[in-house]
Chains A and B, each alone.
Chain A
């Protein structure tokens, strides 16, 4: 067990930022904390890092209680903050070297690790650049390089892809998977469900300081009744045609909005085939048609009644 959090409670006045939060992270995992802004992800991270006082609960890292002065534990943790945390007066190389030097004492070893971090994050061409000369994506990469250069066993990343372009985001996500392949356990917080689906082996969905669901993405999707969502572009549908669709087996809802017909089915097979057959039979005109499996947003929606996407950004 790399991280174990039990009954963590953290209050800011009347607001409960962490409400009896319990979870554990196994070695080698990419563990995702998914939730809208204000759901308590960063609070949980800051408590794990011993930066924040909490009201009750226990936190263990590498099997030992997390304490601010346990430097042996801290030495094995890498941290990538939500906000870029680098010195604007130091170059890319100097920033990485400085933060790496807080963990690694040997000069030669440090030099090697810094070079590896630069290579890993694709900053080789920018090593002499000052942060103000870097684009948002490169700055985020520098932020990551500063956090992982010392090759920590546990990397905690707090929304490292906020406000960057898709290309840089993909590069960062690939890098995280590579880090994981190299042996690092990763805790990754985000409010982008696509990211956790892409890289996380296990996910905890948070809302209002509570863990509302935890498991692999498949396990999470199994928790809800929705099995498939079929979206059809129509040119008008009558009540009787809609009723005919509703009468199909496994179909739980049929809604038409802005000429888009959304048909949700519970678990079951060949729903799309049956829907197409029904539309032909009842002369329902249609254009594009596509089918989706449930997303984590659907999981969040079904459990909380709220849309993760609406609150995420």
Chain B
């Protein structure tokens, strides 16, 4: 009997195009849009060389050290400046028409001997200013040392070429410190809870007071709960396969970095699928309304929970956890998102297990309530 019901349930669900679209195609499409919209976040923050003009005058030509330093930082792929060595009039014109962020004029007769001229203040102007200050400070220090210890010239040159940084950037995890996966975690969590469509349908097709089809099933010599469990198994298999496709798409096509614990990500997604399916069954069993209203409630609830988990705005997750922490714990989508988050950012599993335990509690709660609500065999009205 299991094989019979399971086989036909698979056929039914796989041929339900609307359901397949919402539970598989929609998340894949949404992931693609997320990728297109969010992948530029990182690149927009990447450093671009600053266009800088240098006045080609006698002082500059004679200051070989400064000239060398400027040329060094203006060469290669990771150069700091795109350098334009031009007469002063041309430098002024370039600044005026915004071709450059500023221009430098070397003149030993004035103080400071290297002056920066800018039209406005901004990050790029600050970088140039900082570079000039650093150069002048170093030049001054070298001059002072050499005036007192002329023999240390070689040592100073070596130290300058081997500058040490005494600060080291250390990651809290083995994963890249990247915010992008977070959006995809909320997307996966949302997709898991779209499994609610399957749960809803399983209940609709078993409740004789909802559909004539269910009345026919109830009149058959098969225990109602068995029919439900066999059918739900088929639904779970399809939903897991859909989520697997989504994860593979994210990993292999969009190259989303899930960190070092990809296996756990798959395991968590499977738990999320069970949670989503049981959630849909629960909503369908509780809400004694038409199919359309049930679907509306399911979609609305899932989207609202996803919103609170930070799908539309990452800060929302932190606002909720800071101001209404209990909401974080009673929002199953957030539990799932947070579990993914822990896997990515933390090396320990404590918070991950807490999230999973809370999620398990919700699964048990949804299943128990659903069982109590649908276990009756005779209805007050049909």
Contacts and interface: CB of A to CB of B under 8 A. Distances in A.
A90 B8 contact: yes
A81 B377 contact: no
Nearest to A53: B378
Given A52-B382, A82-B212, A102-B4, 18 more contacts: A46-B382, A52-B378, A52-B380, A52-B381, A69-B377, A74-B221, A75-B221, A79-B219, A85-B211, A85-B215, A86-B213, A90-B11, A99-B216, A102-B1, A102-B5, A103-B220, A103-B221, A146-B216
A273 interface: no
Interface in B1-48: 1, 4-5, 8, 11-13, 15-16
Nearest to A89: B15
B208 interface: yes
Contacts of A98: 4, 8
Nearest to A84: B212
A91 B378 CA distance: 30
A43 B80 CA distance: 85
B8 A49 contact: no
Interface string A188-215: 0000000000000000000000000000
A89 B205 CA distance: 13
B261 to A, nearest CB: 38
Contacts of A146: 216
Interface of B: 1, 4-5, 8, 11-13, 15-16, 208, 211-213, 215-223, 377-382
A89 B10 CA distance: 10
Interface string A211-248: 00000000000000000000000000000000000000
Given A52-B382, A69-B377, A85 B213 contact: yes
A81 B13 CA distance: 23
Given A81-B212, A86-B213, A101 B4 contact: yes
A116 interface: no
Contacts of B216: 79, 81, 85, 99, 146-147
A12 B221 CA distance: 27
Contacts of A50: 219, 377-378
6 nearest A-B residue pairs (beta carbon): A68-B377, A71-B221, A89-B15, A85-B212, A74-B221, A102-B220
Which of B208, B379, B380, B381 gathers the greatest number of chain A CB atoms within 10 Å?
A: B381
Which of A42, A77, A82, A102 gathers the greatest number of chain B CB atoms within 10 Å?
A: A102
Contacts of A69: 223, 377
Contacts of B212: 81-85
Interface string A57-85: 00000000000110110110101011111
Nearest to A70: B221
21 contacts: A50-B378, A51-B218, A51-B219, A51-B378, A52-B379, A68-B378, A71-B221, A74-B219, A74-B220, A74-B221, A77-B219, A79-B219, A81-B212, A84-B212, A89-B12, A99-B220, A101-B5, A102-B4, A102-B5, A102-B222, A103-B221
A29 interface: no
A81 B222 contact: no
